[in-house]
Every structure is written in structure tokens, then in C-alpha cells.
Amino acid sequence: MLTYDMIRDQINNPDSREKQIFEELIENEFMDPEVEFDDMINIIQARLHEEDAYDDSMDGDHASALASAGFGTDEDYGGGFENI
């Protein structure tokens, strides 16, 4: 996890995800960096942690839907009905 100082330094990098979130907080959440800078850093840290923790192994495609429903996939059963 990025530290407070690391995030603060990345805010100065115009191409960083930290800078993008910082700008979103100002524009969309109407946060004032003059007053709420520490809170903004904490929010950025939390959002980056959420993004890192996201697991897309069950991403909503057909195969993962069947697998999660207990039906398996074509690979599990030899490729479908062409083998019958």
C-alpha cells in the first residue's frame, strides 16, 4: 500500500492515477485541497487499495457464469455436443 508521502509525491505527476483521483475529488466531490488535503490523501489511498484488491476472475462472461452456477465449461466436459 502506498504511504501518505508516496501519494503526496505522485499528485505532482500529471500522468499518475493518484493525480487523476485527486482531480476527481476536487471536481466531483467538491473537496478543497487547502482544507481537506489529509482527507483527500486518505480517500486516494483507499481507492487505490480497492482497485488493487479487485478480482475479475469471475468477470461476468458466459463461461464464468456457467462455472459459478455449477454447470462447468466446455473445457470441463470435452467441448460440447459435437462429441456425442
**Contact at 8 Å (CB) between 64 and 57?**
yes
- Residues with Cβ within 8 Å of 72's Cβ and at least 6 positions away in sequence, in order, are 66
What's the whole-model pTM score?
0.61
Structural domains in the chain (count): 1
Dump strand ranges (E) for 1-84: none
Cell of 56: 475479475
Higher-confidence residue: 58 or 42? 42
The domain in which residue 54 lies consists of 4-83
- pLDDT for residue 69 is more than 90: no
Q: What is the pLDDT of residue 16?
A: 95
**Contact at 8 Å (CB) between 19 and 10?**
yes
Q: What percent of the chain lies above the pLDDT cut of 70?
A: 63
Mean pLDDT for 48-68 is 70
Cell of 40: 483527500
